[in-house]
Amino acid sequence: MGKHYTASKNRTQGRDGWSIIFRHPARLDPSTGRPGRRVRRGLGTSDDTEADALVEQLNEILRTPSLWEPLARHKAAALYDSRVVDVFYEGLEAARTDFRSIRDDLLALPTAADGYKNVLLLGTTGAGKTTAVRQFLGTDPENERFPSTSTAKTTVADTEIVLTEDAPYRAAVTFAGREEVIDHLTENVSAAALAIFQRKSDEDAMRRLLDHVNQRFRFSYVLGRPALSSEDEDDDMPEDEEDPDDDAMALGTADLDVIDPSTTAAMLTQAVSDLRSLVEKQAVRARTELQATEEDERVLEEILEEALDTELRQLEEFHAIVDGLLHEVELRFSLLTDGELRRTRQGWPLSWTLTTGDRSTFLKTVMRFSSNYAPLFGRLLTPLVNGIRVAGPFIPTWAETSERLVLIDVEGLGHTPKSAASVSTDLAKRLDEVDAILVVDNATAPMQAAPVAALKSIAISGNSSKLHFLFTHFDRMKADNLPRFSDRERHVLASVENVLNAIGEELGPAAERGIRVQLEQRCYFAGGMHEPLNPTKKDARRTVEQLRSLSAALCAEEELPSTGPAKPVFDRMNLSLAVTEAARNFHRRWRGLLGLEYNAAAPKEHWTRVKALTRRLGEGWRDEYDSLRPVADLRTELQVQIFLMLQRPVRWEGGEPTEDERQAVIDEITSSVTGKLYTLTTQRLKEDVQNAWLDAYRQQGVGSTFTRSRIIDVEVFGRGAPIPTVAASPDQNSFLKAVANTVAKVAEERKLILE
């Protein structure tokens, strides 16, 4: 039986209509991890009497625990206004929206059956990945600017582009859910409060208020940014690499009739001021209460930070700041006058579609969802987009024919700190789904940590045969010892050779060979791609030839490599050793991240990041937070050790395979195992231990940081992925058996032998 809460009406932030505010008895409060989440929703009426009646209906639900279960919705619908029912039951059923399926319903991606190849582009920030996409589309860098490019972090939402032969141009965009946006805004307000507590300037607090720490949600694109010092602006505001003369009002002056930048700026400035007052008041009280129990100043500061964060999130004044930001965010959707905007039953934007034969209109309209163009800050929706899909007759000037390709541009590999550890679950699944993988890298500094990590992930998932390589910025390789194209090419390949040798030493000859074969056959070099390429000009001719060859290779039909008649035989004992080593490596890394032991390769993470991770896994809506990816890390460690085991069979039956057959067998088995490891690792480290994640999240007060780390180490990882020992526990047996059964099932399907 939950606590009884009371709803009230509210009309603030310049709204004409009434909103309702209440604590939900069956939804978790993000600040405590316990029931009582704060909810604020519009009632769709400006009439006082009607609003009072709706509030009373909701209070009746709040007084009736039997109506708090999701299955009671149909009963409530027969008794109360649909608006009240929608507000109370929204989010009560834990369900993750499948945004890719929504885009599929609006604009389906063609497949191999339609004669298309799906190509995933991977590359570090600044390598030229999105610029390469522009070249395949033939969009003008001065007048069309799609997709947006920047020397800073640009692509944060999946961008899927279908190259068609004929018009019209079509787009389907999906948006992050209301709760996700509120959660990130709340984290931003909390981060700004922490900056104030740490005696940072108002400018620094404003940056944290607007741009989430992982830079996925850069709300400054949506809300603009009050004027900062010129030094701050230079450091923090990424701009397109082209000269922005003509597009300052590309979205139209009518925007300014709906959005008043000065009003938004005043609201943001006031928010920082209000937050400073709240922090100063709460910090004095928290410090007084805690100093009596803790003498170590460094420990005291960390305890104070967490105590202050918890206290602030309980204050209505804190949430009023979040409400104000959310209201300004929602206003930006009213700027969408073209296309069709679909909303959820509760009124939050879900998707947007557009169909038109006018290329210019299409690209300028789509800019609102993809641009990072600084003069348009305050009127863009880019950070709110979680996926954008477009289709149209995009043909570059250098192309000889129209190619049937689907280009998939995802977040750059270097978009987050420590991004080289393991790729996310979503990206790993993309590697399995696509027909080709194009690794785009900077020829002036090739194969840094992030692309190397990506290559390892591709190898251990059995996807090496999909690889293609494009080295960009070849025109910038100017040195006395590199006078010719061939000299520069050899220089790049020498750097790659060092990486291949290192991969071979770490992952074995199969990984090195799989990548090397593709590098030798599918490696391309390009320069000057930031400008339109004219095939008739001498300085562009070589790049055009390279891009034409790359395009043809991506579209070419490929024969599946033959595995031959030989079948490998594996020792089950080696599988047990592989699981043990994977678990040991996983625990060593995460004990370092949790601060339970020193690990130079995985230093202790700040408590705010660990707590944010526990919340996402505790509530079940994500399996990672920024670069903290326990599920992906466990999957990667298991993949590596199983991949190494597969290269050392006890013997081969049916004859000795050729090198090509051996590689094909290993890739085939690895790919099958990888597909099943997604389910296994998610089950073990997310679903089976969700309550433990939630328990870790709920920890508060003195010692909570250490307690949270211990719960994760013992109750989550110790149960979900224990290190097998001689004196095996039930959890160890369960983990080892689960992995063994996964491999055994693949062996049975592939007619392999485990003895």
Judge whether 509 lies within some domain.
yes
pLDDT above 90: percentage of residues in the chain: 49
Using 50, 70 and 90 to split pLDDT, how confident is the model at 401? Answer: confident
Looking at the structure of the chain, the number of domains it has is 3
Measured distance CA(369)–CA(560) in Å, rounded: 39
**Quick one: 531 and 623 in the same domain?**
no
Confidence band for 290, pLDDT divided at 50, 70 and 90? low
- Pairing type for strands 349-356 and 35-42 reads unpaired
Return the pLDDT at 480. 63
Which amino acid, residue 643? F
- Edge to edge, what strands does the sheet with 117-123 contain? 340-343, 349-356, 169-175, 385-392, 158-163, 405-409, 117-123, 436-442, 467-472, 523-525
Please report where in the chains the tokens 């309550």 appear, as a residue: 691
- In 571-698, which ranges are E strands? 651-653
Residue at 729 is within a domain:
yes
Do 579 and 545 fall within a single domain? no
| Residue 386 scores a pLDDT above 60 | yes
For residue 423, the model assigns a pLDDT of 84
166-201 pLDDT, tens per residue? 889 999 999 998 988 998 899 899 999 989 988 899
Q: Is the dihedral of CA 595, 600, 601, 607 positive or negative?
A: positive
pLDDT digit string, tens, across residues 705-754: 899 999 999 999 999 999 998 777 888 889 999 999 999 999 888 878 88
**Span 65-116, pLDDT tens digits:** 999 988 899 999 999 999 999 999 987 765 678 899 999 999 999 988 899 9
Closest Cα to residue 736, out of 721, 718, 717? 721
- For the stretch 4-44, pLDDT in tens is 799 999 886 566 789 999 999 988 887 777 888 899 988 88
More confident residue, 15 or 236: 15
Q: Evaluate if residue 553 carries a pLDDT over 90.
A: yes
Q: Which residue has the higher pLDDT, 484 or 86?
A: 86
Ramachandran quadrant class, 620 (left: phi over 0; alpha: psi -120 to 50; beta: rest) = left
pLDDT band at 276 (very low <50, low <70, confident <90, very high): very high
CATH code of the domain containing 550 = 3.40.50.300
Residues 6+ apart with CB under 8 A from 385: 157, 173, 174, 175, 176, 369, 370
Mean pLDDT within 439-451: 86
Do 545 and 572 reside in the same domain of the chain?
A: no
Q: Does residue 519 sit in the same domain as residue 545? A: yes
Q: Is residue 298 part of a domain?
A: no
How far from chain centre, in Å, is Cα 109?
21
Residue 296 scores a pLDDT above 70: no
Alpha-carbon 542 to chain mean position = 36
Residues 662, 532, single domain; the answer is no
Residue 492 lies in a domain: yes
Q: Identify whether 616 is part of a domain.
A: yes
Which of 556, 585, 610 is where one domain is finished?
556
Residues 515 and 589 in one domain: no
Instruction: Taking residues 634-646, report their average pLDDT.
Output: 94
Q: Do both 491 and 576 map to the same domain?
A: no
Q: Mean pLDDT for the chain?
A: 86
Q: What percent of the chain has pLDDT over 70?
A: 89
Distance CA 247, CA 375 (A): 8
pLDDT of residue 384 exceeding 90: yes
Residues 536 and 578 in one domain: no
| Sequence-distant (≥ 6) Cβ neighbours of residue 713 within 8 angstroms | 587, 590, 591, 594, 596
Per-position DSSP letters for 615-642, written without gaps between them: HHHHHTS-S-BTTB-HHHHHHHHHHHHH
Cβ–Cβ < 8 Å for 88, 43: no
Q: Is residue 586 part of a domain?
A: yes
Last residue of a domain, one of 556, 584, 614: 556
User: Are both 629 and 747 inside the same structural domain?
Assistant: yes
In the predicted structure, residue 571 carries a pLDDT above the cut 80: yes
Contact residues for 173 (Cβ-Cβ < 8 A; gap 6+): 351, 352, 353, 369, 385, 387, 388, 389
The residue among 560, 737, 569 whose CA lies nearest residue 653 is 569
pLDDT in tens, 196-220: 988 899 999 999 999 877 666 789 9
Residue 730: the pLDDT is 87
Is there a domain that residue 713 lies in?
yes
Parent domain of 133: 111-138+400-556
According to the model, what pLDDT value does residue 416 have? Answer: 44
Averaged pLDDT for residues 223-234: 63
In a shared domain, residues 549 and 591: no
Do 705 and 646 fall within a single domain?
yes
Amino acid type, 15: R
347 has a pLDDT exceeding 90: no
- Does residue 120 form part of some domain? yes
The predicted pLDDT at position 397 comes to 82
Q: Same domain for 420 and 443?
A: yes
pLDDT on residue 305: 78
Mean pLDDT over 287-299 rounds to 56
* Residue after which a domain boundary falls, among 531, 556, 581: 556
Where is pLDDT greater, at 593 or 145? 593
Q: Is the pLDDT of residue 292 over 60?
A: no
**Alpha helices (H) along 251-260:** 255-258
CA atoms within 13 A on the CB side of 257: 8
* pLDDT at res. 226: 84
Is the pLDDT score of 498 beyond 60? yes
